[in-house]
Structure 1
Amino acid sequence: MTDLLPTRWYNIRADVPFELPETRFEGGSPPAKDGPMTSPRLVAQNMSPMPNLRIPEEVRAAYRLWRPTPLRRARTLEAALKTPAKIYYKYEGTSPTGTFKVNTALAQAFLLKQDGVKRLTTHSNDGYWGSSLAFACHRFGLDLSIYLLRGTLDAQPTRKVLMESFGADVQDGARTVGEAVSQALVTAVRSKGDIRFATGFLTDYVLLHNTVIGLEAEAQMQLEGATPDVIFACASSGANFGGLCFPFLRHVLAEEAETRVVAVESAACPSMTRGRYIYEHPDREALSPQFKMYTVGRNYQHPEGHLGSLIFHGLSPLVSALVAEDYVEPMAVKQTEAFAAGLRFLKAEGILPAPECAHAVHAAIEEAERCREAGEEKTILVGISGHALLDTRGYRALRDGTLEDLIPTDDEIKAWLPEGAWDDPENFDADSTYA
């Protein structure tokens, strides 16, 4: 039997045919490789020129608890849509925490443990990342503190139970993801090296670790004798998107394939479709470096009634560059559309998609319906990044008729962005305080 679990992660930086924007650090120089926000081994992965990086055997052994994850054809959904298109989905909900985020959580926990670290601190929006890192820290013997968004514990008490069951210390109170990131960063900085910050989004190594998703999917589709014409994956910071799409994009970058690759974001946080491509800090307090990315600004405030996730203000620098160079197509979906599509997927395939990937499901269904109208036989691949069994609020609101689309105005986005970025993003880059 073929072993589909990859032995190496895929590093797309090695194959990008254009120059990537540099990260900007305060004072102009990168921090020490063993500072509170860094790790020698993780920094080495970020800087590696190699296209394939070995997965440590200890991490592969942990992956084997649930990987490889299923690639399935959505035949019942195809029949319901009466489409000639073939719809495949890569399902990450079989992991110990029901989400793809465990892929990088295990890698980071192991590598930080190798660096001699004993305690980590992190942020978490809806608990998916927090529970994943809690599992990974338990696996490799690390302590963990988690800062959650205000109200998350009340809305999703099962997530707190899961995190604490793995031994994590959980606190809430942050108003935005950026604020939660700042709280975790401050804890790491004040520890003077005793505590390290870990993140499940934005950085290159996070996307690298998640490429096990796309590497498996590519091998599984080859066994099916199928090649995707179009791929849909949700994108907020870009961790899931990069994980599924980067292994396929390498063939597009090499001009060996013409696969359409679509990054689907929330219309409530439209960094790609309505934001600006500028240098910005990931965290609200500007403690972190500046990355060039599509963003609606670190002062972004997600609306209280938004339940569709995908609410981080900025997109991964790697994914942002691929969007800017037209290798990736951006698309925004409303949360009412996303949850309706997720419910449709549940009734057809028996899986309740996590709120974020329900946006990609909507995009895939729309594409399949276009194929029906055009009589076109396309092969569609969609990423199901996890299940929503521990986060049914949006589906409940859809059922009760209380779900609303909360879309920011241009004036709101302009106010969230740094001064001058909305009207003249290129000159804003030139005037950056870290230039």
Structure 2
Amino acid sequence: MTRPRWRPRSVVLVPTLALALTAALVPATSPATPAAGQPLTLTAAAPGGERWNADLSVVDRDVNVRRSAAGLRLREARAAGHSRSAVAEGMLLTAPRTLSRPATRVRAEITASVPAGATVEAQVRGWRVSGWTEWRGATAGAVFDRPVSRVQTRVVLTAWAGGATATVRGVQLTADATAAVSAATPGLTYRVYATRIGLVGELTANGRTVQPQDHFVALPSRRGLSPLNSGDYTVRVCTTTGSRCEYAPVWDVGPWNTRDDYWNPSAVRENWKNLPQGRPEAQAAYQSGYNGGRDQFGRTVLNPAGIDLADGTFWDGLQLTTNAWVDVAYLWTGGGPRGVVGDEPLNIRTGASTSYPIRGLAARFANVPIQCYVTGQSVAGPYRTTTRWNRLASGHYVSHAYISAVYGGSVPVC
């Protein structure tokens, strides 16, 4: 799909008053603009709990950020690598921290200089036996439905293209226990409109250079964005007939919006809370004129897309020839054992042998839900030679020879 391109501009760093941020900042569509010389009045972090400081000194696999003597900043104030967003974005991903005791809430206190038009937010996710939770904003407090044993933090900076960037000097995290909230319905599946990403040679939101025939997807919210070379957030996307499916990691943000986690219920959804769960904002804008027919950046929505497919997923996985409606399962909302695909692309078949028909693909790094396993044809793969075949929740099969790891519980015999 065609999106506007932004020209590189020089970054202008404007000195501002240091603000201790402990509440979520306003989305980029209406950035916070405090009066000159006046701090924002925000609530302090709760006392007690386990505290630590995020390490902002290591900029390695991160996207469009740099560390200076003053603090963490955007590297370039322009749309990073592609034009899915009308603002420049950058993310620093910290190493996971193992907690001394399980927690259900994590709060972040940010010390930063934030000029008008820029935003900065600390987001966290927690590890449970079934895998990582979605990313949640922690500046107002991220609450998990079940205790988590590990916490990972990322710092997200935005600025209008060519504008001034925030400078982050520190992020302090506090983990404690509080009343849990209800989890989203496990195994959520919705029918949405899919478009092809293309953009070969450009950067995804998690820092990958898009390859020809690549296998990944984009969703319009960072809440389900996997770190580079991981499938922590994986979707199963199928044709509406069910004849072809692909399991693919979420490695980019789009189409149209960047804060539209439409698969979540209203109580959790970032924006557009009056839309039905499972209805992308772009679909509502295109079909019924919602939000004046525009996306969060004010652009006229030209199609109802709720997911973007990389070329390999589009052409090889689903064998599509044009944009189409598809059925998408947001697998991190489910439970049970997950297998990590270690080679790409892995054929998924109707039975436990290479003689069975292929019904799609599982991309490298995809986390696939394993229902049980059977004994079938012996296969020599990159991890083992085995007769074990895993039956996925869809009823398809993959050879265990290509599964690098299994987590989330033991896999029973079928």
Larger radius of gyration: 2
TM-score in terms of structure 2 length? 0.30
Q: Which has the higher contact order (CA 8 A, sep 6+)?
A: 1
The structure with the greater share of residues assigned to helix is 1
The structure with the greater share of residues assigned to strand is 2
